[in-house]
Structure 1
Amino acid sequence: MTLYSMHSWTKVTLFLLALLSIFARSVSSTSRRALVQGKPSEIGFRVTLKHVDHGMNYTKLERIQRGINRSKSRVQRLNAMVLASNLGTYDVESKIHPGNGEFLMNIAIGTPPKLYSAIMDTGSDLVWTQCKPCEECFDQSTPIFDPSQSSTFSKISCSSDLCQALPTSTCQDNGCQYLYTYGDYSSTQGILATETFTFGSDSDKVSVPTIGFGCGEDNEGNGFDQGAGLIGLGRGPLSLVSQLNEPKFSYCLTSIDGSKTSTLLMGSLANTNSTLSTTNSKSSKVVTTSLLKNPSQSSFYYLNLEGISVGKTHLPINKDIFSLNDDGTGGIIIDSGTTITYLEKSAFEQVKKAFTSQMNLPLDDSGSAGLDLCFKMPKGTTSLEVPKFVFHFKEADLDLPSENYMIGDTNMGILCLAMGKSSGMSIFGNVQQQNMMVVHDLAKETISFIPTQCDAL
């Protein structure tokens, strides 16, 4: 059993924090701006991330509930996308992407740079913002980008590789026109162009020229009204990760009930090889496992999950439940834009059964929390023992801290499992990732989880 505390947090050694801090400062501004064949090389920068509910007076459970509501269409669309692709109906009109997201990052676009806040999304590729003249634009807190006021704005030709990589495009006046549609029926349509993007703040600012992005003149729906556009960090050629030509990035998400910001590290600053090797000799908590590719869903980061343990019980889940099938269905992706983890229905039912049998608490079947499994807590409870939860990835076991899968609310007197069921594909959500440095290494096709006190970075 492991202890769940209403006030618990993930601990990390000062040694690890010091290593991360030293490494982050070791990259010179000269190397960050180097160019190779017109593309950035050895670029590294740090960006602050804010949860979309940052600064709002919600309890942890209320934040989870709001996130679940935002994620509903995303989860449905993620599964529908894979199914439609398998049936051969995915590209009938326009390719549809998950949409929405849970974290915002500050960027600056153009010369001179103009500040914007955009949604970070590891489940899609296109980088875009709203642009003048706007035929249809949603409200945003900053002025809409005006390309006529930037000396570095340039349209992309129809024959360019980036234009060819778009799921839906047309050619007009020798310029590439795009349409990108999301799962909540939001969409962006406009001109594909290049611009100088500036990341970071103060002395750590890094300007990167000729980033391909969508200059959206017709943007419909309410899926992106938290920000002024989106930064796609998926695996496809249009994403920021691919355009930087740096195959590594990492993020560290603070507790969902906290008021502190999170961190995104791109390129050379996410190169944690030395940190990982040192930490491996000092700690057994660094977990590295392989990433999988799905040819029919090239944007997603698929994990190689082989099983789950609850308490001392290794659940008898058929290994094929989490396998990525030859037809592109199934599997489990890691996604920053989905709040809680969703497991394929039969696997979730076994998890639910195991928790029900191992928790010495009565079930709460009121449905008031909006989660599938909740228990009644005795009055005055501040901490409880709960079963351990372990994800068994290929050659690596991820033992989650209790606050990454149990959500308690003393006012309501309930304790809930922060997971749900899905149909088909499973999704590893951001609550399960909190207070971990999540390192994507696309050169090695691996992903690493390093327990980290993210608000101390």
Structure 2
Amino acid sequence: MRAGTSPNSSSCSAWRSEAGPGVRCSCPRPRGGSANSISTTDVPVLPNAGDYTIGVSIGTPPQPLLLNLDTGSDLVWTQCQPCLSCFNQRFPLYDPSQSSTYSPLACSSKLCRALPLSACHAQCLYLYGYGDNSIAIGTLASEAFTFGSSNNVTVPNLGFGCGFLNGGLFNNESGIAGFGRGSLSLISQLGVGKFSYCFISYDDDDSKSSTLMLGSAADLNGSATAVRSTPFVLNPSQPTFYYLSLDGITVGTTRLPIPKSAFVLQRNGTGGVIIDSGTAITQLTTVAYKLVRSAFLSQVKPPVANATAEVFDLCFSLPSSPSAKVDVPKLIFHFEGADMDLPHENYMYQDSTVGLMCLAMFDSGDESSTIGNFQQQNMHVVYDLDNQKLSFAPARCDQL
């Protein structure tokens, strides 16, 4: 479809024709629903150049959106017509004038008061920023959102941002779906006690996708022996984020001598470790990263390559023979009560076209650490808000 025009077919048909063969869609009539029925639906999740997007629809009649699934922020927003400055996106801009259920929210509304930065000019205006310096500016409103690719459920009156001035690092998505812990987030507004995702690999072909599960549907299907759980840690200074208690890291057979204080959440709210679906590559606080880097440097046999060939800090030259086997040491994150034993594909990025294998990890440059989505590939991850814990298990994400 051409950006700036209203879709003339159902949003499900648009999904099938434009989002690619990985989206399974039988185009039923959307049925009315509420947060209580959201667990019956299937929300498609697709990789998108370092991010993962969910397919939803907005308005009456529904207009299709691709939104980044971001557990590191709260606001749900999409680009809107008329737009002063918008980045390119796959689907047409959402047009509130074509929806019978669009309604701006008052400045006195609870969601407007929850915005970190807002202004009142007849309507509630917001400015929302991100760690990568992307920004979104627009009007806070409410709308009907339709979830599901084959079993649609429509939830009315969800608060969202109608963005008319947006910029930053985006790649054809329509906006962002915040899944953080704050009241503005999609998960908070839906009122469900847990959700889960399972990210297919970055390099999987277009025929594959996975599913976001909400409410009672968000259960791990792995055997009890494969499931690991660790409690969330609350940070009153940064209430949006999902903090975890990371006790240490093992590379190969060596538990690294990282001081436990490196990962501790400080009383002033700094430091700590978060898990974030909206961050691509894991970032470790400097003292931890240096020890991890040094361990891989000493344990990986191929020669170190010129790091300028890739964005990563540490790369190795692959053997010229494609059949040559390269031994990669194990990487284990030791969370409180749960070891995350990562497959090597989740921390060693391999590019055979340039003959490089790189450690997919960065120095955060400060006291904080973030577990990114590259490290979460092919892992079913459950955010259990009712029981304040994160659970995870290895999975074939496209087969759940």
TM-score (norm 1): 0.75
Could you tell me which of 159, 176, 188 is aligned with 2:108?
159
One-letter code aligned to 1:371: F
Could you tell me which of 256, 268, 271 is aligned with 1:330?
271
- What is the Cα deviation at residue 185 of structure 1? 4.2
Question: Is the CA contact (8 Å cut-off) linking 1:180 and 1:187 kept in structure 2?
Answer: yes
Going by fraction, where is helix more abundant, 1 or 2?
A: 1
One-letter code aligned to 2:213: L
Could you tell me which of 304, 314, 319 is aligned with 2:260?
319
Structure 1 counterpart of 2:346: 404
What is the alpha-carbon distance in structure 2 between the residues aligned to residue 358 and residue 380 of structure 1?
Answer: 21
What is the alpha-carbon distance in structure 2 between the residues aligned to residue 329 and residue 414 of structure 1?
Answer: 35
Within 5 Å, which residues of 2 pair with 1:13-412?
35=34, 40-44=35-39, 45-53=41-49, 67=50, 102-173=51-122, 175-202=123-150, 204-216=151-163, 218-224=164-170, 226-259=172-205, 260-272=208-220, 275=221, 279-280=223-224, 284-382=225-323, 383-412=325-354
Structure 1 counterpart of 2:390: 447
- What is the Cα deviation at residue 184 of structure 1? 4.4
- What is the Cα deviation at residue 360 of structure 1? 2.7
Q: CA-to-partner distance for each residue in 1:268-301, whole Å, 9 max, x for gaps?
A: 22144xx46xx21xxx321111111221211111
One-letter code aligned to 2:266: N
Partner-residue secondary structure (3-state), 2:288: helix
Partner-residue secondary structure (3-state), 2:308: coil
Could you tell me which of 371, 385, 399 is aligned with 1:428?
371
Q: CA-to-partner distance for each residue in 1:95-122, whole Å, 9 max, x for gaps?
A: xxxxxxx122221111111112222211
- What is the Cα deviation at residue 378 of structure 1? 2.4
Question: Is the CA contact (8 Å cut-off) linking 2:303 and 2:317 kept in structure 1?
Answer: yes
Q: CA-to-partner distance for each residue in 1:153-208, whole Å, 9 max, x for gaps?
A: 222222221111011223333x3222223344443333211111001113x11111
Question: Is the CA contact (8 Å cut-off) linking 2:60 and 2:101 kept in structure 1?
Answer: yes
Question: Is the CA contact (8 Å cut-off) linking 1:244 and 1:267 kept in structure 2?
Answer: no
Mark the CA change 1:168 to 1:401 in structure 2 (over 3 Å): closer, same or farther. same
Question: Is the CA contact (8 Å cut-off) linking 2:52 and 2:199 kept in structure 1?
Answer: no
What is the alpha-carbon distance in structure 2 between the residues aligned to residue 134 and residue 334 of structure 1?
Answer: 33
Question: Is the CA contact (8 Å cut-off) linking 1:195 and 1:213 kept in structure 2?
Answer: yes
Partner-residue secondary structure (3-state), 2:287: helix
State the identity as a percent: 50
Question: Is the CA contact (8 Å cut-off) linking 2:68 and 2:278 kept in structure 1?
Answer: no
One-letter code aligned to 1:211: L
Structure 2: unaligned runs, 5 residues or longer: 1-28
Mark the CA change 1:34 to 1:287 in structure 2 (over 3 Å): closer, same or farther. same
Structure 1: unaligned runs, 5 residues or longer: 1-28, 54-66, 68-101
* Bigger RCO of structures 1 and 2 (CA < 8 A, at least 6 apart): 1
Q: CA-to-partner distance for each residue in 1:400-451, whole Å, 9 max, x for gaps?
A: 1121112223343332221121222111111110000011001111111111
What is the alpha-carbon distance in structure 1 between the residues aligned to residue 312 and residue 103 of structure 2?
Answer: 48
Mark the CA change 1:410 to 1:154 in structure 2 (over 3 Å): closer, same or farther. closer
One-letter code aligned to 1:414: L
Aligned residues: 367
One-letter code aligned to 2:142: T
Structure 2 counterpart of 1:415: 357
Partner-residue secondary structure (3-state), 2:74: coil
One-letter code aligned to 1:46: D
One-letter code aligned to 1:146: D
Question: Is the CA contact (8 Å cut-off) linking 1:43 and 1:268 kept in structure 2?
Answer: no
- What is the Cα deviation at residue 342 of structure 1? 1.3
What is the alpha-carbon distance in structure 2 between the residues aligned to residue 130 and residue 426 of structure 1?
Answer: 30
Higher mean alpha-carbon deviation, 135-144 vs 431-440, is at 135-144
Mark the CA change 1:195 to 1:352 in structure 2 (over 3 Å): closer, same or farther. same
Question: Is the CA contact (8 Å cut-off) linking 1:131 and 1:145 kept in structure 2?
Answer: yes
What is the alpha-carbon distance in structure 1 between the residues aligned to residue 32 and residue 334 of structure 2?
Answer: 40
One-letter code aligned to 2:368: M
What is the alpha-carbon distance in structure 2 between the residues aligned to residue 153 and residue 399 of structure 1?
Answer: 46
One-letter code aligned to 1:441: D
- What is the Cα deviation at residue 397 of structure 1? 1.0
What is the alpha-carbon distance in structure 1 between the residues aligned to residue 219 and residue 321 of structure 2?
Answer: 46
RMSD value over aligned CA atoms? 2.2
Structure 1 counterpart of 2:4: none
What is the alpha-carbon distance in structure 1 between the residues aligned to residue 276 and residue 233 of structure 2?
Answer: 14
